[in-house]
Structure 1
Amino acid sequence: MVAIKSLGIFLIVNAILFFNIVCGDDLDLDYMLSLVNSARSDNGVDPPLQLNSLLIDTAQRHSERMEESGELSHDDEDGDFATRITNSGYDWNAIGENIASGYENEDSVMDGWMNSPPHRANILNPDFRDLGVGRSGDYWTQDFGRTFEESDAEES
């Protein structure tokens, strides 16, 4: 009986550790999108942003590279954020990027960005239509954009 209880405790502890290792960098994209769009709405900014897979991939890759290097920077081995976004295939007319480190979750990093004028300006920029977010460890990236196609559609 003691062996079974010990085995059960061992399995539970290892399952928790495995979950934290595998899922420790969890990012809830839909929740982050809702935080960004709530901030925009609360400040009278339209339209709400939508998630874009190219920007998500670019932001995630950049967060991973920042974690690997241990350096918070808009530049990496692929260049600056404009180069990275262009190379992703995103045909942009307007772009912006927020980066951060040291935050535990979406709420805390959004608070940090909203309390920093340049980051807040990106979040509230009415020119942006698309959002990509990445997280690796405690490194975060938000990439914002608007495509030429979106710009042309709104002008006609």
Structure 2
Amino acid sequence: MSKIIQKLKSIFVPQEGNEFEPLVLSQKALLGYGLSILILKIVIIAFVIYFPKTDFFAAINAQNLVNLINQERTVKNLSALSVDVKLNEAASLKAQDMIANNYFDHTSPSGISPWYWFGKAGYSFVWAGENLAIHFIDTDAVFEAWMASPGHRDNILNPNFKDIGVAVAAGQIDGRQTTVSVLAFGSPAVAQPKTSPAAKTNSPTQPVPKTETVNETQKVGETKEQTPINAPSAEPKLAGEENIKLTQAPIAQLSLPARVLGTFTINFVELAKNLYLYFSLFLLIALAINILVKIRIQHAPTIILTLILIGISVGMIFV
């Protein structure tokens, strides 16, 4: 026990055995502290800037969105939506096309409608809908913004929808690095049983009506909505567009540095800030012990380097 106490004194308390310079404030230790501070900041920057662009975090956001949507539907006594591989592909194709062709709209500059991507993915539907969002990089933020918009909420809570596909993609639109989110809703078409051509009638026939609902969050603080229509034709049609101002979505104004990866990253960044704070307090206490225990014997370089490190560590909390 006495050996442990002596070792701790050598580490923290200036005495003759450590030449009145505690090991915790030795030049080698201070250099290690400085490198650790820089490495931690580099890791934070990597999480905040680089990792939102990776498929790993896009997948996390997609799954979280589905969970939030199904939780809300359950509260409203609606059936949960099933993740459909084809709708995932349709949403992904739409997201990639918007980034590749530098636009954010339901219809592409070349006139490609949302339903083109449903067909390209091989998903036949009787009901379909699309929600779009841009500049959101937090799962809760985009979900809350969609729920704050009546049209988007109607899509999320539409009892006719059975399936959902989600895509979250990062890229440049209008010269700005951003993230686009796509929700593709659908209810699959049921194949009609074949009937024998025994009896013929002269009654006129019409294709089965299709109803589509399309909504989008076009830019921060504003949504563009299209209301559902019945379209007794082979191709869906879009209703007139109406711009509706969001009255309650301040989180929609978040930019890339803020709440980058939702709860996981927010907690990581907050943890790093706490580490900087506690480390600063640790150095401050160690320096106070070093100065006060042997007040007549001081090492100016140690005091100066420690104060510099404390300043850097505190600064990292706000940078």
Deviations 1:65-116 (A, max 9, x none): 2234442201125711112101210121211000011212111111111111
Q: Secondary structure at the match of 1:118?
A: helix
Q: Secondary structure at the match of 1:24?
A: helix
Output the amino acid matched with 1:24: P
Tell me if structure 2 keeps the 8 A contact 1:86–1:92. Answer: no
The normalised TM-score by structure 1 is 0.78
| Map of 2:133 onto structure 1 | 100
Matched, 1:39 2:72: yes
Q: Superposed, which structure 2 residues align to 1:1-156 within 5 Å? A: 23-25=51-53, 26-27=57-58, 28-45=61-78, 47-76=79-108, 77=110, 79-136=112-169, 137-149=178-190
CA distance in 1, matches of 2:189, 2:47: 41
CA distance in 2, matches of 1:107, 1:94: 26
CA distance in 2, matches of 1:65, 1:15: 32
Q: Secondary structure at the match of 1:103?
A: coil
Output the amino acid matched with 1:56: N
Query: Any stretches of 5+ residues in structure 1 without a counterpart?
Result: none
CA distance in 2, matches of 1:5, 1:68: 44
Cα separation, partners in 2 of 1:68 and 1:20, compared to 1, 3 Å: farther
CA distance in 1, matches of 2:88, 2:111: 16
Cα separation, partners in 2 of 1:12 and 1:57, compared to 1, 3 Å: farther
What is the aligned-residue RMSD (CA, Å)?
Answer: 2.8
Tell me if structure 2 keeps the 8 A contact 1:78–1:84. Answer: no
Deviations 1:31-64 (A, max 9, x none): 111101011122222x100111111121122122
Output the amino acid matched with 2:142: V
Q: Secondary structure at the match of 2:143?
A: helix
CA distance in 2, matches of 1:16, 1:80: 40
Tell me if structure 2 keeps the 8 A contact 1:64–1:139. Answer: no
- The offset of 1:19, in angstroms, is 5.8
Cα separation, partners in 2 of 1:64 and 1:5, compared to 1, 3 Å: farther
CA distance in 2, matches of 1:14, 1:129: 44
- The offset of 1:14, in angstroms, is 6.3
Q: Secondary structure at the match of 2:167?
A: strand
Q: Which has the higher contact order (CA 8 A, sep 6+)?
A: 1
Q: Secondary structure at the match of 2:129?
A: strand
The normalised TM-score by structure 2 is 0.41
Tell me if structure 2 keeps the 8 A contact 1:54–1:132. Answer: yes
Output the amino acid matched with 2:51: C
Query: Any stretches of 5+ residues in structure 2 without a counterpart?
Result: 1-27, 170-177, 194-319
Cα separation, partners in 2 of 1:4 and 1:135, compared to 1, 3 Å: same
Q: Secondary structure at the match of 1:146?
A: strand
Tell me if structure 1 keeps the 8 A contact 2:93–2:117. Answer: no
Output the amino acid matched with 2:143: M
Q: Kindly, what percent of the aligned residue pairs are identical? A: 25
CA distance in 1, matches of 2:44, 2:86: 32
Tell me if structure 2 keeps the 8 A contact 1:52–1:132. Answer: yes
Q: Secondary structure at the match of 2:104?
A: coil
Aligned residues: 151
* Structure whose alpha-carbon radius of gyration is higher: 2
Tell me if structure 2 keeps the 8 A contact 1:64–1:135. Answer: no
- The offset of 1:147, in angstroms, is 0.7
Q: Secondary structure at the match of 2:161?
A: coil
